[in-house]
């Protein structure tokens, strides 16, 4: 438990946030499947990403963690063994709280010549896995839910020949898309994944840098396809992981919330499929500027944020939905907190996916904002937030959800009285030093 008070002065200064979680996971996975070594700098050393390392070590991949003597930069070196170099393990692969590890690894394991089992903690065992079981089965894999409930633990019978498919996913999901694509690396024909909108495309960008024949196509209506032609070997490479926009979101919000604040958040990934929070907040009046922008590989920039009073349109309403949702799904709890302070009613819709995250983030965000005095209503696919009512301190139930813990720690900076974040240790899933970094600004 950690107790926080309302900020007593503006937040000023420069800050770096840890490496992008999605990119860190993929750098280990693709490095393991590549021929030769892959060097990774900026890797996120959080519980989720360590789970991915541990799983691949069990599968026979050598992964070193060292400090470069020339500049003192921590480096992860993955000694890849190629697409067919993984070895069977007698133990169940344990992914802790990581949905990314569970779903993406299932695509890889489905193509192996050996049997495997994969599961995670209690949260993972409640998250839907039918969304990957169905397409993998269509590809020829033999994968099943051990408990028969469509969730982990998953058992995968190896030795199955996979076939390329064209699969239409009803929800834009990078995890489902990536799972299918990774299985497609082993398939006997082209694999195409269609989505209603382009989900985060880190897999496509990084696999291309490893030598895979993969690209995206975007239709006029915004729907998207990821197209993979198998047969190209992956080659080890060097990866520099930018800061995670999901982690930067908390400091963006803190600067917008505390009067007089001005923060520069350096070297943050601003991939267009991930930075919907910046677009939406600017539409609400946020003073956010991207500096030193680079689009070589993964786009990145320094983000300058200044205190701003957020608002809606002329009717004092603001709506977030549609194709914006996949670009900011992990940031919606933080956006909801900001909306509580805005001079408008904010409607978040088309976000039913929030129900199957580490917690039911519709229910848990509403529960905690109500505890802080916000006028908020849950809907089937989001929430309606009547902003402008002062917040007050409360006991925040995190439900072991890291994004709730960090979002409401920021809420505390604008609330009267003391806010206590219960079960705060869950931030280690994605941002172990979060409270230390936040306290450095207070």
Q: Higher-confidence residue: 277 or 66?
A: 277
The answer to whether residue 70 scores a pLDDT higher than 60 is no
Cα angle 384, 125, 145 (rounded to 5 degrees) comes to: 120
Percent of the chain's residues with pLDDT above 70: 99
The pLDDT of 205-232, averaged and rounded, is: 97
Q: Which pLDDT belongs to residue 74?
A: 80
**C-alpha closest to that of 212 among 195, 192, 233:** 233
pLDDT bracket for residue 68 (50, 70, 90)? low
Cα separation of 141 and 432, whole Å?
36
**Span 392-418, pLDDT tens digits:** 999 999 999 999 999 999 999 999 999
**Active site (annotated) includes residue 375:** no
Q: Which pLDDT belongs to residue 349?
A: 98
Question: Are 397 and 364 within 8 A, CB to CB?
Answer: yes
The answer to whether residue 69 scores a pLDDT higher than 80 is no
**Span 80-112, pLDDT tens digits:** 999 999 999 999 999 999 999 999 999 999 999
**Span 113-165, pLDDT tens digits:** 999 999 999 999 999 999 999 999 999 999 999 999 999 999 999 999 999 99
Cβ neighbours of 9 (radius 10 Å) = 11
Cα separation of 29 and 124, whole Å?
19
Give me the domains of the chain, ranges plus CATH numbers: 2-19+242-439 (3.65.10.10), 21-229 (3.65.10.10)
pLDDT bracket for residue 67 (50, 70, 90)? low
* Mean residue pLDDT across the chain: 96
Q: Which pLDDT belongs to residue 383?
A: 98
The pLDDT of 329-352, averaged and rounded, is: 97
| Global pTM value | 0.95
Radius of gyration (C-alpha) of the chain in whole angstroms: 21
Cα separation of 21 and 18, whole Å?
8
- Output phi, psi for 328, to 5 deg: -150, 25
Cβ neighbours of 309 (radius 10 Å) = 13
User: What DSSP character marks residue 330?
Assistant: G
* Catalytic residue (one of 302, 324, 330, 401): 330
Cis preceding linkage at 153, omega within 30: yes
The pLDDT of 298-323, averaged and rounded, is: 96
Q: Which pLDDT belongs to residue 66?
A: 76
342 three-state secondary structure: coil
pLDDT bracket for residue 65 (50, 70, 90)? confident
């Amino acid at each position: 438990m950690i107790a926080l008070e309302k900020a007593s002065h503006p937040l000023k200064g420069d800050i770096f946030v840890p490496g992008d979680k999605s990119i860190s996971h993929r750098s280990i996975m693709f490095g393991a499947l590549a021929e030769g070594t892959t060097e990774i700098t900026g890797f996120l050393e959080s519980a989720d990403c360590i789970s991915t390392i541990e799983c691949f070590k069990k599968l026979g991949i050598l992964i070193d963690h060292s400090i470069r003597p020339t500049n003192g930069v921590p480096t992860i070196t993955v000694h890849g063994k190629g697409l067919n170099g993984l070895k069977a393990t007698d133990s169940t692969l344990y992914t802790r709280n990581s949905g990314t590890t569970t779903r993406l690894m299932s695509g890889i394991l489905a193509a192996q010549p050996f049997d495997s089992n994969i599961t995670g903690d209690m949260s993972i065992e409640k998250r839907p896995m039918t969304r990957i079981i169905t397409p993998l089965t269509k590809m020829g894999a033999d994968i099943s839910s051990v408990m028969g409930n469509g969730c982990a633990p998953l058992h995968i019978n190896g030795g199955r020949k996979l076939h390329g498919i064209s699969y239409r996913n009803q929800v834009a999901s990078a995890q489902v898309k990536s799972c299918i694509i990774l299985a497609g690396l082993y398939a006997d024909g082209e694999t195409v994944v269609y989505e209603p909108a382009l989900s985060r495309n880190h897999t496509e960008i990084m696999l291309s840098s490893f030598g895979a024949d993969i690209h995206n196509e975007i239709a006029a209506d915004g729907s998207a396809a990821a197209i993979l032609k198998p047969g190209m070997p992956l080659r080890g490479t060097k990866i520099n992981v930018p800061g995670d926009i999901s982690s930067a979101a908390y400091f963006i919000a803190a600067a917008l919330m505390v009067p007089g604040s001005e923060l520069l958040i350096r070297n943050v990934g601003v991939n267009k499929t991930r930075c919907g929070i910046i677009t939406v907040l600017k539409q609400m009046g946020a003073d956010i500027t991207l500096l030193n922008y680079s689009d070589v590989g993964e786009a990145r920039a320094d983000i300058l944020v200044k205190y701003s009073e957020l608002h809606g349109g002329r009717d004092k309403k603001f709506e977030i939905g549609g194709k914006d949702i996949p670009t900011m799904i992990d940031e919606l709890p933080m956006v909801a907190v900001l909306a509580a302070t805005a001079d408008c009613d904010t409607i978040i819709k088309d976000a039913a996916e929030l129900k199957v995250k580490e917690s039911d983030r519709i229910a848990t965000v509403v529960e905690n904002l109500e505890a802080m005095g916000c006028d908020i209503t849950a809907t089937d696919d989001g929430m309606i937030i009547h902003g402008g009512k002062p917040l007050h301190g409360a006991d925040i139930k995190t439900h072991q959800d890291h994004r709730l813990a960090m979002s409401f720690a920021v809420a505390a900076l604008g609330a009267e009285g003391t806010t206590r974040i219960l079960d705060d240790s869950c931030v280690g899933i994605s941002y172990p030093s979060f409270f230390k970094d936040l306290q450095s600004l207070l």
